[in-house]
Amino acid sequence: MKRNSLFSSCICLLWLLTAVVLQAVDSAKGKYAHMLFNELFEDYSNALRPVEDTDKVLNVTLQITLSQIKDMDERNQILTAYLWIRQSWYDAYLKWDKDKYDGLDSIRIPSNLVWRPDIVLYNKADDDFSEPVNTNVVLRYDGKITWDAPAITKSSCVVDVSYFPFDSQQCNLTFGSWTYNGNQVDIINSLDSGDLSDFIEDVEWEIHGMPAIKNVVTYGCCSEPYPDVTFTLILKRKSSFYIFNLLLPCILISFLAPLGFYLPADSGEKVSLGVTVLLALTVFQLMVAEIMPPSENVPLIGKYYIATMTMITASTALTIIIMNVHHCGSEAKPVPQWARVIILDYMSKIFFVYDVGENCTSPQRKKEHKLEMDDRCQRRHKEKRSHLSSRNDDCDLKEKLNGNLNKSCGIHGENVREAGYCSCYKILIKNIEYIANCVRDHKANRAKGMEWKKVAKVMDRFFMWIFFIMVFFMSMLIIGKAA
């Protein structure tokens, strides 16, 4: 027991001694840091470039770390990004021998106490021209100064929306000295590209790289060269949001337009459907126009909307024309022979269009099919034969009535009272001829109207499939752009 208590006391004493030594060392370092600070900045000026020879170039190493993309305003063409900007250079007047200061090799001081390069973002698009954030700098014994400063930058970016929402953008961030030329301050890339190791993934954009290129530009105002470093941010848009909210609804709505040709002409909703679909697409077109910049390049989805709206406008116009054909009455001319052959004989079979009122599922379809075969062979002579038969029937009826009239008049010709019967027969013949002509005209007009209705129905089916194919290929084209 005595040994254990003695051992515990020794350990506690050792820990206490270590803490006292560390505190003494820290106090010693703090003492030397204050002494060093006072000696370094006694005659120091942060207004002049810290070089011993004014003809010597001061090299500034620049490194950009992209932390987050805060916003990409396509309409105003402004990129808002959160950056970490690291600059490092050597100050010829801030050096010391670390052995004289108990091995103190670095100190951290406010950045406004030392000279700083006036490196700014050339393509800045912000109204705020405030000073950089006054974070501390790390000062080493060999005069190297490292300054890490966070910044939220708004830079101008030329946005090309030709393939929206499957587009890629390239935004430049150009950094350079505002007053020092290349003979005074030279900028060196720390890395071949921006640092993306700490990038926070964005919900709308994918980062495909951030290469850095050094440029030396001579402006018209000055003969000296001005170096700058341009970081190109390569962005790829995530199109899932726009596909499900803008593209798919438009595709589904556009497939409703051909169905307007399938509606019965007597329903009164054919034109209303086309106008409703056109208004719906107009709303989506306005939504796209609100987020796009006013440029000459029409986005891909905008072209799709315009093409679909043009197609729906054409389908509505064709629907109106076909409805006029459908409602052709007895005053209309007969169906031309070429339309009878092409539309009624061939196209009606291709698109499975039957006569008005005909039921293709009727149990008497076989008998009707046989009659149709006979009618198909005799279609061209039907009208002539019906006309001749009608005339023959009228002649037979007229001969019978005339025979009866002559017989009656011959038998009773001498009787004056019987003379009235002859005139009654003549009036009866005229009435029967009038009724027969009316029935014949009614059948002819009805057959003419039925033929025009069938022509309209065939044309409806024809344009329905044509527009279905057009919508399908247009949808496949825009989906293929996404692949």
pLDDT digits (tens, 9 = 90+) for 81-136: 999 999 999 999 999 998 888 888 999 999 989 999 999 999 998 877 555 678 89
The candidate with the shortest Cα–Cα distance to 481, out of 302, 231, 265, is 302
User: Strand, helix or coil at 165?
Assistant: coil
Q: What is the mean pLDDT of residues 282-311?
A: 84
Go through the chain and tell me how many residues it has: 483
User: Strand, helix or coil at 142?
Assistant: coil
pLDDT digits (tens, 9 = 90+) for 42-88: 889 888 999 988 889 999 999 999 999 999 998 889 999 999 999 99
For the four alpha carbons of 364, 366, 367 and 372, in that order, the dihedral sign comes to positive
pLDDT at 403: 53
pLDDT digits (tens, 9 = 90+) for 226-274: 999 999 999 999 988 888 888 888 888 888 888 888 888 777 788 888 8
CA distance 66 to 196: 6
Please state whether the peptide bond connecting residue 165 to the residue before it is cis, i.e. omega within 30 degrees of 0: yes
pLDDT at 222: 77
Confidence of residue 417 (pLDDT cuts 50, 70, 90): very low
pLDDT digits (tens, 9 = 90+) for 15-45: 554 543 334 334 445 677 888 888 888 889 8
Confidence of residue 482 (pLDDT cuts 50, 70, 90): low
